[in-house]
Structure 1
Amino acid sequence: MPSPSVFIAGPASWNSIVVLDRLPEPVPHMQFAEDSWDTVGGTSAGKALSLTGLGRSTLLYALAGDDEPGERVRGALAGAGVDVRWASASATERHLNLMTRAGGRVSLYLSAPSATDGAEDDELRDLMAAADALVLDLAAEPLRLLPLAREAGTPIWVDVHDYDGSAEFHRPFLDAADAVFCNADRLDDPVAFLHSRIAAGATLAVCTLGADGAVAVDADGVEHRVAAVPVDVVDTNGAGDAFLAGVLDAHLAGASVPEALAAGARSASSVLRTRHLHPLLDRVTP
């Protein structure tokens, strides 16, 4: 197998999306869905799709079970042209995502794979060492791989999503990261958090701000901002993953931080126009 430019480890799932006029209140009640569909999910699948769409050589390492959801995920990603190294799991990851048109989301995890026994670690270590960048997403198997990734010496990019500034599960990922991405949903002061990651040793820290674009802090502590690209939004799932993919692709091509952020904004806009994680899935997922 040729060495990929980007090695991604993390979730690829089969998701049910339900669109509501408002997120459910925590009391017994009934609501009618405005729309619903099934599709590929998983933050790592989203990044791999976007990088593949940008023409970047990418290998996704993900777990799936020998079950119907696993067959659907494997088939859809293969049809979209994503190169995946699959590891066996007892069950494929599945989510039920309750969404609003404005982008509000409650994700219910119906199943999530456990970490593997490490039987393939020698090959994975070689792949990580040969790549230009690693993306390790929040899940049990990437957490297990963190020591191997650090040994590989390849820059590590992490996406801690709606991190609240204190959750313990995220800490090993943050400690290993050369580049940190997050969103502003649960941070009291996103810019201060970004500066704290640079002070801790990261060379780039980025926070997405939804319709307000994104803010970044570079290795010199300089702040950069980028506006969101205007678009008629169909679905917000995968926009943050596409943003990271666009920034990473541009960074590896030698772009400056402002140029990379602009590339991230363009990449995010491309997935907001589809109800799948990326337009590559439009032709292979009903």
Structure 2
Amino acid sequence: MAVFIAGPASWNRLVVLDRLPEPIPHMQFAEDSWETVGGTSAGKALSLTSLGREVLLYAQTADDEDGRRVRSALADAGVPTLWEMSDRTERHLNLMTRAGERVSLYLSSPSEADGAQDARIRQAMADADALVLDLAAEPLRLLPMAAETGVPIWVDVHDYDGEAEFHRPFLAAADAVFCNADRLSDPVAFLRSCITGGATLAVCTLGADGAVAVDAEGVEHRVPAVPVEVRDTNGAGDAFLAGVLDARLAGRGVRESLEAGARSASTVLGTIHLHPALDPVLG
């Protein structure tokens, strides 16, 4: 197995609006809405699987209708999984605009894992070439175990603002850090701080402007986005990380890997799902 991924797999309702709601009582009409698989870890696993990379996704779901939908969809899409059964399946309501702005409302979150599968998880991590630990309570619990394996750890801190406490253990453990620029006033300065802190690669996606990265030697790299007609931006960041990780495991350089990430991200922008592999599964 090449990549072990731990983190969220959820069932989401997406609602497209002409603008994000203002914090006052009012009424808006949705332009579109649908339900689909969500979760940043599910997105990464789907993209890596489509790239031909061996993957194991470890995630939590419940024995409920939404959990069965998530598990069935990922199985039909060919994603190998190790499920931790929870009292609740993670569910989100995502309010979106066509420009990619988003407010995510967490309707339910998984219960705390009991550790019964820890021996199996530890072995799976030790056998991997890379570990992806996403922002959630269960991956946070697994961080010390992951660090003990010595396998490189990749983290995605999404719209980190440079201050939130929850993200810091992930950043401290990371060999590779990914983020977006939504809440960073100076993305390059943040990337350099990650390298100073011990990471060997730090990458910030810039939406339509592509991505910028800083490598272990402090060299800055920039790549443009691949032009594509956008239907939905969910999963683009996950696909970008997957493309970079796949290329790095194949021995590619930083610039070439970033270009692979941009190509991977472009493949998910034309679907309303996390990845086109879900189109024949969910319609």
Contact 1:114 1:140 in 2 (8 A): no
Match of residue 156, structure 1, among 153, 156, 170: 153
**CA RMSD, 1 decimal:** 0.5
Matches within 5 A, 1:116-135: 116-135=113-132
Matches within 5 A, 1:190-229: 190-229=187-226
SS of equivalent to 1:215: strand
In structure 1, what is the Cα distance between the partners aligned to 2:237 and 2:149? 26
Letter in 2 for 1:46: G
Letter in 2 for 1:278: H
Equivalent in the alignment of 1:101: 98
Matches within 5 A, 1:52-201: 52-201=49-198
In structure 2, what is the Cα distance between the partners aligned to 1:84 and 1:127? 11
Letter in 1 for 2:130: A
In structure 1, what is the Cα distance between the partners aligned to 2:107 and 2:244? 31
TM-score w.r.t. the length of structure 1 is 0.98
1:225-277 deviation line (CA, Å, top 9, x unaligned): 00000000000000000000000000000000000000000000000010000
Equivalent in the alignment of 1:268: 265
Match of residue 39, structure 1, among 30, 36, 58: 36
User: Aligned pair count?
Assistant: 283
SS of equivalent to 2:282: coil
Q: CA deviation at 1:5?
A: 0.4
Gaps of 5+ in 2: none
Contact 2:232 2:271 in 1 (8 A): yes
Q: CA deviation at 1:118?
A: 1.0
Equivalent in the alignment of 2:237: 240
Q: Which moved more, 1:109-118 or 1:150-159?
A: 109-118
Q: CA deviation at 1:117?
A: 1.5
After the TM superposition, which segments of 4 or more aligned residues of structure 1 sit over 6 Å from their partners?
A: none
TM-score w.r.t. the length of structure 2 is 0.99
SS of equivalent to 1:275: coil
Q: What is the aligned-residue identity percentage?
A: 78
Gaps of 5+ in 1: none
In structure 2, what is the Cα distance between the partners aligned to 1:203 and 1:136? 16
In structure 2, what is the Cα distance between the partners aligned to 1:182 and 1:125? 26
Q: CA deviation at 1:124?
A: 0.7
Q: CA deviation at 1:114?
A: 2.9
SS of equivalent to 1:7: strand
Contact 1:184 1:208 in 2 (8 A): yes
